[in-house]
Structures are given as C-alpha cells and as structure tokens.
Structure 1
Amino acid sequence: MNSPLVPTPDLIRSIEASEIEYMTDRMKAIRGRPGNPEGVEIREFGNAVCYYSETMPWPSFNTVKGLRSDDIDSIEPILDFYRTRGRKPQLEIVPSAVDSAFLRRLVENGCYPSGTHASLYMAPGAIAPEPSDRIRIEELQEDQFELYARIHCRGTGLSDDGIPHVAANNRVLHGRPGWKFYVACLDGKPAAAGVLRTRDGIASMTFAATLPEYRNMGLQRRLLLRRLEEAGRQSCGLAVGQCAYLSASHRNMERVGMKIGYVRTSWTL
C-alpha cells in the first residue's frame, strides 16, 4: 500500500484544493438548511475562501483557506469580514504558498501562529480488507445520524447538548453526491465513525472520531482501510486526510501507507 506519489507543487495544490472543495460543499449544505439556522456565510477574497458560522464558533467553521502571496492586500478585508461578525478567524497557511512579506503583514495585523496541522496523502490502489471477528464497518443510514452525532460529540469532547445540532448539520450530507458516513462496531456496539468525500478522482477523509472507552482497539485503522477501499473502488487516484501532527490519527494514517504532503500553520487574530 506504499504510495508511489511524491510531493510536487501540483500535488500540494491538489491536496489543498480537495480540502477547500469538501469544506465548501459541506458549508453550502449546512447553509441550505431551511432558514440557514447556523448563519453560514462563504466569502471569497482573491484566492482565499472564508467560512463563517454565526452559531458555531469553532475554528473549523470560521477558517480561511487557499491564501497565496498575491492575496497580501486582502488580509485587512478578510480580518474585517470576521471582526464585523465578532469572530476571530483561523487562517491556514500552506508551506511555500506565501512569502515573508505576507507573513509580516499578518503579524502587523495582530495575527500569530497558533498551531500546526498535517495533511497526508497516498494513491489508494487496491486495498485488501482485513477480516475481524470483533470489528464490523457499516455505512451509516439516513435514520442513524443521532448515533453518528453521539460518537462525534463524545469522541471530540463536545457536550451532549450539541448532538441534535451535529446530527442536523451532517444529515444534510446524506445522499449528497460524493459523501459517505461509516460506523465501526466493536462486538456489535457502535464505537467509532469516519467520513469520506469523493469527487473528480480525489478521496477526502474529512472526519473521524472514537468513543473514549473504545480507543486503541484498531477501530480507526479499520475505518481508514474501509474508506481507502471505497476510494479505490471509485478509481480515485489520490486520497487525502488531515490530522494533528504526531497524533494518534497521524500514526494510523502512516500505518496504512499515507505520508505527509505538508504541515500547514494556523494563524489566529
């Protein structure tokens, strides 16, 4: 399962573009709920795509992707877009995408590097499923999004109060072209979840979580393999995923054959 792909400028752009594309589609789906209850806005400034949600203050829903050096004069308008909405954005900087002048302008505007995140990739190829007597991977059905939301919230440390909102914001993706949700069951009990988005030959593993009591039992590895198997079945030439650098997710991705494309920096106002 070792990937024959090597990092090139075109590959890096494809990895970043896949992240922008799935996030844009996700936010459009949430915005399309009757009355736009989450107050979602999507705004473009040059190459940059800005995501905002009135009711979801977390960085992933208030982030800026796609920045390039020639967007330097868009920095102030971007920050003003969020300031007028009472939000501090997360600006994602991909290595080599911006120059030192751009980074200086970020600092001059009160931004600082607040974290890093790894983007990994591989060519899926033919993935052989690993049989297990204890672990079963099932595709989520439309009436199971409360289950998904429970795993999502408890697996990421969110309050159970968020379960109805997470369920509603992900149910709108069921049946939307390219989206698939999976649940991993251990001894018949739902224990972990993972999400896949495919389009134009690229598979994006957009989210994964495991209930705390079921961690370190191989569930995420199996979910990765199931999604890579689906990516290969759809003849995807590239699979990508994001995670915290050197996290358990990072190690799982490396174990199935993925490797780092880049480690981006998050900047915060």
Structure 2
Amino acid sequence: MNLARDVEAVERAVWQDMFAAAPAPFRDDAGLSHRRFDGALAIAAANIPDTQFSRAFAFGIDAPTDERELDNAIAFLRATGAPCWWLQPAPEERALIAAIEARGFNRTTRQWAKFVRRLDVDATVSTSLSVAQISAEQGDAFGAIVCEAFGAPPPLALWLKALIGRPNWRLYVASVDGVPVSAAAMWSDGDFAWYGIAGTNTAGRGRGGQTAVLARLINDARASGARLLVAETGEKQPGAVSTSFDNMIRQGFTVAYLRPNYAPPEQC
C-alpha cells in the first residue's frame, strides 16, 4: 500500500463529490468549478478568496504525472478567475515539484499536514456534551457554526446543508444544553473515511466540542468498516496555537506527511 496515494485519493473523492453537491444558485454565485486532469483534481471558487476552495492536488496517484497534465491544471485555474489558488504536489513527487518551480511558482511558508488514524481501536472521551448525526432539519445550525468558525459568508451554509443525506456523508453537531456549538463532517467509502469541515462557534469555545465530535466520528467510521481515517489541517508553526492539529494528535492521529503549497508567480 502506498499511503500517500491512498490519502490523496480519499481527498480527491471528497472534494470532487463536495463540488458536485453544490446547489446551482450557490454554485453560480460562488463561481464554483472543478475538473479532473488525468489523476489530478482542480477545484476553484472564483468568488471565495480562500485557497482551500481553489487548488489542484492528487497529481500522480493513478499514473505518473506528465507536464501536460500540470499545464492543463494551471490553465484551468488561471481561467477561473479565482483570486488566489495553489498547486499541492505530494512531497514524493520530486519531478513534479521541479516542474512547478521551473514555471515560477513559489512555495508558501506553511504546508498542509496530512493526518491519518488507523481505526483498530475506539476513541474515548469524557464529555458532558451530546453529539448527534444530524438530519436536514438541523442543517442550518451546522452551517451557521461552520461559517462563524471560519468567518465564511453565510450563503456557504447552503452548500454544506446539501451534503446531508448524500451517499457517503454524515454530518454531526455537539450541543451544550441542547444548543449546537461544534460541527464536523465525515465522508466514508469502504476502507477509508475522511474527517473535515470542523468548527466551533464563539459560544462553544473551550468546552471540548471538537474533541467530542471527533471521538464520535472516529467510532462511527470504525463501525462502518473503515480501516483508515484521513484528515488535513495547516502545519503547526513554532509557538503558534493550533487547536485542530492538537485535537487530532490527542485522538490518535499521526502526520503522514507534510504537503507543500505552491502559489503562482502573479500572486507573489
């Protein structure tokens, strides 16, 4: 098993399905588009200035990447009009990284940490919060938590709500006295699961909501038959606080690898 390829393939499946799920009004307003280039997936949100929604990744996981695939992905992202976007080669793709750098792309100072957790043991947590998988009726609360946590525009909640009930997806909230304060999503298919879209609102900070949601999600993924849970967050910087990074470490995740981000020369 090539761990990096499995991890990249899971992320590709998640984001391809997430973009496919976007309701038409939101998709058009946000300028969403996505396209496969051989193995690589390029996604773009022309009207959302956040690089997590505009990037190309999963190069070389189905077959060796050639420069045509790279150039096609670059041309696609430039044509979308997204204000900021990245190329994200896996660190083992040395020839690809050299080709990216030869095109004038600049490596950002912070990489993405790609996490894995093997699902051979349950997660345990002591909490007074209640955690539940949500239905469509609770979709507004889920979206509101995530939008507040990330400072995202409220219409993004329409996109997140569209994931409820979609095959392979489960969305969760943790509540204090019946009031939702933390949220997270899981995608799963066969041996693999993914954890993300996780956030806590201001009222819920410091209550352990993310820890509680993550423990529930881990155990549900294990019960579904998945063997490996995948996640990502920004690389932890020296002296900086990274709650999501630390929460995953506490719940048994390990960093599989650090993936670099490359910005095009016109953004630097």
User: TM bucket by the smaller chain?
Assistant: 0.7 to 0.9
Alpha-carbon distance in structure 2 between the residues aligned to 1:10 and 1:230: 25
TM-score between both structures, scaled by the size of structure 2:
0.86
TM-score between both structures, scaled by the size of structure 1:
0.86
Q: Which residue of 2 aligns with 1:217?
A: 207
**Residue pair 1:48, 1:71 contacting (<8 A) in 2 also:** no
Count how many residue pairs are aligned between Structure 1 and Structure 2.
253
Q: What is the SS of the residue equivalent to 1:194?
A: strand
Structure 1: runs of 5 or more not aligned:
1-8
Shift of 1:240: 1.1
Shift of 1:129: 4.8
**Residue pair 2:89, 2:97 contacting (<8 A) in 1 also:** no
Residue range with higher mean Cα deviation, 141-150 or 81-90: 81-90
**Residue pair 2:125, 2:211 contacting (<8 A) in 1 also:** no
Residue range with higher mean Cα deviation, 36-45 or 194-203: 36-45
Question: Relative to structure 1, is the Cα distance of residues 229 and 57 closer, same or farther in structure 2, using a 3 angstrom cutoff?
Answer: same
Shift of 1:60: 1.7
Shift of 1:39: 3.7
**Residue pair 2:122, 2:219 contacting (<8 A) in 1 also:** yes
Q: Which residue of 2 aligns with 1:97?
A: 93
Q: Which residue of 1 aligns with 2:221?
A: 231
Alpha-carbon distance in structure 2 between the residues aligned to 1:89 and 1:35: 20
Alpha-carbon distance in structure 1 between the residues aligned to 2:121 and 2:38: 39
Determine which of 191, 208, 214 is the counterpart of 2:198: 208
* Aligned pairs for 1:69-80 within 5 A: 70-80=65-75
Shift of 1:191: 1.1
Deviations 1:79-106 (A, max 9, x none): 222222222421112110232xx33332
Q: Which residue of 2 aligns with 1:157?
A: 151
Does the alignment pair 1:184 with 2:174? yes
Alpha-carbon distance in structure 2 between the residues aligned to 1:242 and 1:20: 13
Q: Which residue of 1 aligns with 2:248?
A: 253
Structure 2: runs of 5 or more not aligned:
237-241
Q: What is the SS of the residue equivalent to 1:70?
A: coil
Q: What is the SS of the residue equivalent to 2:98?
A: helix
Q: Which residue of 2 aligns with 1:106?
A: 100
Segments of 4+ in structure 1 off by > 4 A?
none
Question: Relative to structure 1, is the Cα distance of residues 129 and 256 closer, same or farther in structure 2, using a 3 angstrom cutoff?
Answer: closer
Q: What is the SS of the residue equivalent to 2:2?
A: helix
Question: Relative to structure 1, is the Cα distance of residues 107 and 48 closer, same or farther in structure 2, using a 3 angstrom cutoff?
Answer: same
